[in-house]
Chains A and B, each alone.
Chain A
Amino acid sequence: MSGNYESSPSPSEVGFSLVSRRTLLAGAAAVGGAVVLAACGDDSEGSEGTSGGTETTAAGGGGDTGEVSFGSNYSDEKPKAAMQAALDATGLSVKVNTVDHNTYQEQFNTYIQQPDDVVCWFAGYRMRAFAGKGVVGDISDVWEGLGDMSDGFKNASTGLDGKQYFVPFYFYPWAIHYRRSLFEEKGYEVPTTWDDLLALCEKMKADGITPFSAANDGGWPQMGMFDMINLRTNGYDFHVSLMGGKESWTDDKVKKVFENWSTILDYYQPDVNGRTWQDAATALGNKETGMYLLGTFVTSNFDPATDPAAQEIIDDIDFFAFPEIDPAHGQDAVEAPIDGFMMAKSPKNDAGARALLGALGAAASIDAYLAVDPSSVAANSAAKTDGYSALQKKSAELVGSAKYIAQFLDRDTDPDFAAKVVGKALQDFLSDPTTIDTVLATVEEQKQTYTFE
């Protein structure tokens, strides 16, 4: 736990694979006594670079660029091997510096002051915050070579000054999950509007099924619900502006979000705040509940290795995009945390770093990555999709066609503000929805103490 608020899992931590990720919690506990990281921990002398000779360069690579250092948080065995494959595919000479991913994230503030040439990080505000502080490099020129990335990904990689600072690698989306067999059995239709959703909830309730699985242990899972209702009610621009501290939390628009939320709270599982997302997922698996808004990592709760019925559940789980609330915004925004790369402000090997970033953004490297660890969905639309499961294909479609990609509340705003102010406020709201006016007034008051980028 090492003193952090819990945050929503990063795509690198939770994949689409069938591999159990129960170790997430245990892992967090283990870092409790984590040793202080001296700038970059264990040097894994991974790549001798040029597995195919320096001459054979991949897309964007520029001949003899020399060695590029690469700070990696792909520390687990499989992702580490996969990342190595992706780097090999770039054909550049890369010196990899792997650090345990929890430690990496915790120490990033310090690390970014003396980073490797290219570093692994997250899109959205978490990138923008460092871009705004001027500690990472502008890579707009690299983006000229990244034609296969959709606008949604480009927006998510853009700093407030309109320049790009980030190259997306892969992601997972948030959506409403359900069991296909339950919907078929009871004749439920996938709702596309808010009214449909409410009607469906009523039907489920009449059938003795709790409409929504709901968890909020750790304070982050319900941020997803807030994001989605806000994106649908007020649109992406307002959401980003609210996350950037530019809108008032006591605004009627925000109140409207909580009004809408209150109408579906009746359909929630009781006692939201104490339930872990895993327990809520189990309820969905058991068909005690009908729907569950969560990232696609929901399937990782079911482990075929320990439970023979799990595989059937995993294959049966499907998702749909959050229904439309205001026709003006439709279903144009989707929430999908993206992992990717940034460049140091002044890399030792500038040309090499840019070449590497361009190559990592190309389809060839994510293809090589997915060949080793198929649990992710590529950001690059030209990437091979034949190895994808049905859920992965659907994720790629959902996000690829989205006009806007939000990153999840704790990635879209100051992480401290997200956890300490908004997270606590949502817990207060869920504990007693009638207190919302006081709760929002407190958020607005506490927001004033933060400087947003």
Chain B
Amino acid sequence: MSTDIAEAAPPAGRRRRFSQLSRNDKLVLLVMVGVPAFLHIVLVWIPAILTGVLSFMEWDNVTPISSAEFVGFRNYWQIFTIFDNQLFPALFNNMVLIVWLFLCSAVGIGLAYLLDKNLRGTRFYQSTYYFPVVLSVAVVGFIWKSVMFGRETGLLNMIWPGEPIDFVGDQTKIFEIQFPFLDFPLGLSRNFAALLLAMAWRHIGYIMVLYLAGLKSFDPSLREAASIDGCTEWQTFRRVVFPGLKPINVVVAVITVIEALRAYDIVAALSEPRGTEVMGTLVTNSLTGEGGGRVGIGSAYGMVLFLLCIGFIIWYVVNNFREHES
């Protein structure tokens, strides 16, 4: 769509476009772009930069900020070497989440594609799958903790025939990977695996609705053309529909990564037993609450998370620009 505009505008359009705008237009533009930009800078970038500054300081959050001391990279050194048994499992869990949520997104897309076929009872299925999304993530956590996971009274353990399973507290690893730079193995603990189930329950419905909206706007004639050309169902989806919905795919990818990196509420709702730590909980726990006397360490965790996010954003923006150029 954007290419149309670019072609329509003559090469020397820059000056002309300016003159086409009335003073009123300019004012509106200034307000509409300027105000959000200003808010964005004040509410997002300044705190982010201050967090960066704080991550090089030691401050107990009680005495005035002027008593904060500059400690160089000490906080980073501490979280990477001394608190390595918290940082690396958290990073690992976030990575597991990215992979897992992409799988869930694929399932969500599959469901959306099926439901788009106007099966009988589509609406029923849609609302069923979408239902968990209506709940706040913290509530999802509480539901799973009390209703599903309970060792003595949980639904899953009532169905399960063998010895009861401790879904919340069992931190033994399902698989382990030994990294050369660590003196302990990283792996997926059983309680985090259980947590992944709860997250999938919510994420699949979310992606499904998003994709369904995209499918509704998809030009049916393209699909017809594909079937006239003798495409199978899978080929139609793989070669026509999926590439045709690229904007939605990008949104889904972005949402999936963001959800994986910012995971926090559901872990906190399950009272964050050992084995389920994610970056979000490490940051929050160091910065807030009565124990929030470790501003430097918390900020350092925050910066690690920030760099992960920014890495992804840069990759995304670069990719986007490259495509626009070609």
Q: Is the CB of A271 within 8 A of B164?
A: yes
In the complex formed, the residue of A with least CB distance to B294 is: A416
A433 at the interface (CB under 8 A from B): no
B residues with a Cβ closer than 8 A to A are: 60-64, 78, 82-83, 85-86, 136, 138-139, 142, 149-153, 164, 166-172, 191, 265, 268-269, 271-274, 284-294, 297
Per the 8 Å Cβ criterion, residues 350-387 of A in contact with B are none
Residues of B within 8 A of A424 (CB): 85-86, 274
Known contacts being A1-B138, A446-B83, is A274 close to B191, with CB within 8 Å?
A: yes
Residue pairs across A and B with Cβ atoms less than 8 A apart, 29 shown, are A1-B269, A2-B288, A5-B285, A6-B271, A29-B142, A29-B269, A32-B265, A109-B62, A109-B292, A109-B293, A135-B63, A217-B271, A218-B271, A219-B271, A270-B166, A273-B169, A273-B171, A274-B151, A274-B167, A275-B152, A415-B289, A424-B274, A428-B171, A431-B170, A431-B171, A432-B172, A446-B82, A446-B83, A449-B82
* Assembly CA distance A197 to B152 (angstroms): 27
A residues apposed to B, CB below 8 Å: 1-7, 25, 29, 32, 105-106, 108-110, 112-113, 126, 130, 133, 135, 216-219, 270-275, 279, 282-283, 414-416, 418-420, 424, 427-428, 431-432, 442, 445-446, 448-449
Is the Cβ of A272 less than 8 Å from the Cβ of B290?
no
Say yes or no: B138 contacts A109, CB within 8 Å: no
User: Complex formed: what's the CA distance from A419 to B150 in Å?
Assistant: 23
A residues less than 8 Å from B268 (CB atoms): 1, 3
Whether the pair A427, B285 counts as a contact (CB closer than 8 A) is no
Question: If the complex has contacts A29-B142, A109-B61, are A273 and B288 also in contact, measured as CB distance less than 8 A?
Answer: no
In-complex Cβ contact of A414 among B86, B169, B293, B297 (8 A): B293
Residues of A within 8 A of B152 (CB): 275, 279, 282-283
Assembly CA distance A310 to B82 (angstroms) = 48
In Å, the complex CA distance between A219 and B64 comes to 31
With A106-B288, A416-B293, A424-B86: A217-B62 Cβ-Cβ less than 8 Å: no
Chain B residues near A108 (CB, 8 Å)?
A: 290
A446 CA to B81 CA, complexed, in Å: 10
Cβ-closest chain A residue relative to B63:
A133
Cβ contact of B274, chosen from A29, A271, A279, A431, cutoff 8 A: A431
Tell me the bound Cα distance from A225 to B102 in angstroms.
43
B61 and A419 within 8 A (CB): no
Partner among B60, B274, B290 whose Cβ is within 8 Å of the Cβ of A4: B290
Give bound CA distance, A4 to B171, whole Å: 21
| Residue on A nearest B283 in the bound complex, by CB | A3
Asked whether, in the complex, the Cβ of A113 is within 8 Å of the Cβ of B62, the reply is yes
Instruction: Judge whether B169 and A274 touch: CB under 8 Å.
Output: yes
Is the CB–CB distance between B274 and A3 below 8 Å? no
Given contacts A106-B288, A219-B271, 8 further A-B contacts (CB under 8 A): A133-B60, A216-B169, A217-B169, A273-B169, A274-B166, A275-B151, A416-B292, A442-B85
How many Å from the CB of A171 to the closest CB on chain B? Answer: 19
A126's closest neighbor in chain B, by CB?
Answer: B290
Which residues from B are CB-within-8-Å of A5? 272, 285, 289, 291
* Interchain CA distance A418-B294 in the complex, whole Å: 13
Q: Are A32 and B138 in contact (CB under 8 A)?
A: yes
B290 is contacted by which of A133, A415, A432, A442 (Cβ under 8 Å)?
A415
**Chain B residues near A217 (CB, 8 Å)?**
168-169, 271, 273
